[in-house]
Structure 1
Amino acid sequence: MEEEKETLKSRKVITIGIVSELTGLSVRRIRYYEERKLIFPERTKQGSRKFSFSDVEALMDIANKIEDGVQTHEIRREMARRERGLTDREVRDQMLKGQLRAHFGETRS
């Protein structure tokens, strides 16, 4: 049952116009997020974009982060970290180590 829910949630069946209505984002803004490689809609043979409910959730999350001042490249970096399976704590630890190395002029060993 859970697997079926995830399949329905991830099916790319929603047009960009409907996504715009659901999210309150303009079609232009949605296309911009796609250009910035933050979302990855499928394309039909005719070239129309198709989104999933997971994509809609991701767009809302992206829009909230942008509103909070987060840059698109930072969002993309966070997405890559999540894909690699790093926890927030691990990411924070890596950032602190990098800052310490930069401050004290240490090189990686």
Structure 2
Amino acid sequence: MTGDSSYKDKKVITIGTVCELTGLSERQIRYYEERQLIFPERSKGKNRKYSFNDIETLMKIANLIEDGVQTYEIRQEMKREKQDAERAAREEMRQGQINARFGIQNNTHRYKR
């Protein structure tokens, strides 16, 4: 598999299974969706589908909520993290273009988890 199309990104897990894996109720999960903290896909039958990455995100959210962090603060932090990741990806791409332009070989391999 390549880059972003990891099995962890595939939205195939039902909300019932997510509840079993996380210990969260359907109501809690739907609330996090309403607060724009999680973004499940919908099947043709309108059922929510989640990925393993979504489950990890839900666990992070639940832990932060338990620590007293407000959903607004969580959403802002998630936005910052996404922007930082996008910025790093753009910088890596720019560096790759510079290296290609000047024939610089980059022998260090970066593996994404």
Partner of 2:35: 36
Query: What aligned pairs does 1:1-109 form with structure 2 within 5 A after superposition?
Result: 3=2, 7-85=6-84
Unaligned runs of 5+ in 2: 86-113
Q: Secondary structure at the match of 1:85?
A: helix
What TM-score, normalized by structure 1, do the two folds share? 0.73
- 1:14 and 1:84 mapped to 2: Cα distance? 27
Unaligned runs of 5+ in 1: 87-109
Q: Secondary structure at the match of 1:75?
A: helix
Q: Secondary structure at the match of 1:50?
A: strand
Cα RMSD for the two superposed structures: 1.7
- 1:19 and 1:65 mapped to 2: Cα distance? 18
What TM-score, normalized by structure 2, do the two folds share? 0.71
Post-superposition CA distance 1:63-108 (Å, at most 9, x none) = 000000000000000011111107xxxxxxxxxxxxxxxxxxxxxx
Post-superposition CA distance 1:35-70 (Å, at most 9, x none) = 000000000111000000000000000000000000
Structure 1 runs (4+) deviating above 3 angstroms are: 3-6
Q: Secondary structure at the match of 2:6?
A: helix
Q: Which moved more, 1:5-14 or 1:71-80?
A: 5-14
- 1:68 and 1:4 mapped to 2: Cα distance? 33
Q: Secondary structure at the match of 2:39?
A: coil
Equivalent residue pairs, number: 85
- 1:22 and 1:83 mapped to 2: Cα distance? 25
* Structure with greater helix percent: 1
Q: Tell me the percent identity.
A: 64
- 2:52 and 2:67 mapped to 1: Cα distance? 23
